[in-house]
């Protein structure tokens, strides 16, 4: 006689096969990392403040003509090597027994031309707008003040002290050297520093 197959129990009848969800297209395309390999880290985009830095420079000239310069700045790095910025200018000048102050603002740009060791050679250009006193026709110092424009260009050396902080040494030439009230004698030597707002 044929053997009768046992009928499924009520619990077996109610149990349904489990259907595994299909992987998405993104999951199918994502390569699996090799054993021991770390997943790549996605870098966050730089914010505007991450490209900004502050600092400044000072200049000293002594002799028959004395000039002390203070020049705070606020800069912005357009790229890792090219930056622009603005700043304030203050000069204390003394000659022939007269002393006076000049003040104003400036705009500048800098480009790292090539690296040398831990530093870089710079190209530098700026324009200063100064309000100053000037020598009158009798050889004295006029009580009036005048606005003068001074373009300066030159080269320098940047010594990096961290990834973004640095010390700059600049040797500049004043293109408008003959203007009345000019506080500079050529060449113009400056030492300055740059400090980033963030470490990113």
Alpha-carbon span 148 to 179, nearest angstrom: 8
- The reported pLDDT for the residue numbered 26 is 56
Residue 26: both structure tokens together: 């993104």
CA quadruple 18, 23, 24, 27: dihedral, nearest 10: 150
> pLDDT digit string (tens) for 66-84?
888 899 999 999 999 999 9
Cα separation of 188 and 69, whole Å? Answer: 11
What pLDDT digit, counting tens, does each position of 6-39 carry?
A: 665 665 555 655 656 665 665 556 566 566 566 6
Q: Against a cut of 0.85, is the pTM above it?
A: no
Return the pLDDT at 41: 57
Mean pLDDT of all residues in 42-53? 85
pLDDT of the residue at 65: 76
Which domains are assigned to the chain?
A: 48-196 (2.40.160.20)
Q: Write out the two tokens for 49.
A: 């403040």
Question: Could you tell me the pLDDT band of residue 178, with boundaries at 50, 70 and 90?
Answer: confident
Contact between 98 and 140 under an 8 Å Cβ cutoff? The reply is: yes
- Helix locations, the chain, DSSP H: 10-14, 25-29
pLDDT at 63 over 80: no
Rounded distance between C-alpha atoms, residue 190 and residue 73, angstroms: 13
Q: With cut-offs at 50, 70 and 90, classify the pLDDT of residue 126.
A: very high
Mean pLDDT for the stretch of residues 143-149: 87
Distance from C-alpha of 93 to C-alpha of 62, rounded to nearest angstrom: 10
For range 138-149, the mean pLDDT: 80
Q: How far apart are CA 180 and CA 137, in angstroms?
A: 11
Count of beta carbons in the 10 Å neighbourhood of residue 113: 13
Out of 9-18, 98-107, 126-135, 168-177, pick the least confident.
9-18
Cβ-based burial of 160 (10 A; exposed 0-12, middle 13-18, buried ≥19): middle
């Amino acid at each position: 006689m044929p053997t009768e197959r046992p009928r499924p129990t009520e619990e077996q009848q109610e149990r349904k096969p489990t259907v595994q969800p299909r992987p998405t297209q993104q999951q199918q395309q994502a390569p699996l990392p090799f054993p021991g390999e770390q997943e790549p880290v996605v870098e966050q985009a730089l914010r505007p403040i991450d490209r900004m830095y502050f600092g400044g420079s000072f200049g000293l000239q002594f002799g028959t003509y004395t000039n002390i310069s203070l020049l705070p700045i606020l800069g912005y790095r357009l790229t890792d090597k090219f930056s622009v910025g603005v700043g304030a200018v203050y000069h204390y000048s003394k000659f022939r027994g007269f002393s006076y102050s000049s003040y104003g603002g400036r705009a500048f740009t800098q480009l790292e031309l090539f690296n040398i060791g831990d530093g870089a050679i710079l190209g530098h250009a700026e324009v200063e707008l100064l309000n100053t006193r000037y020598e009158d026709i009798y050889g004295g110092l006029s009580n009036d003040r005048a606005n003068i424009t001074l373009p300066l260009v030159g080269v320098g050396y940047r010594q990096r002290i961290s990834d973004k902080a640095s010390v700059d040494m600049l040797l500049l030439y004043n293109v408008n050297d003959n203007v009345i009230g000019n506080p500079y004698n050529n060449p113009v030597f400056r030492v300055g520093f740059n400090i980033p707002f963030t470490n990113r």
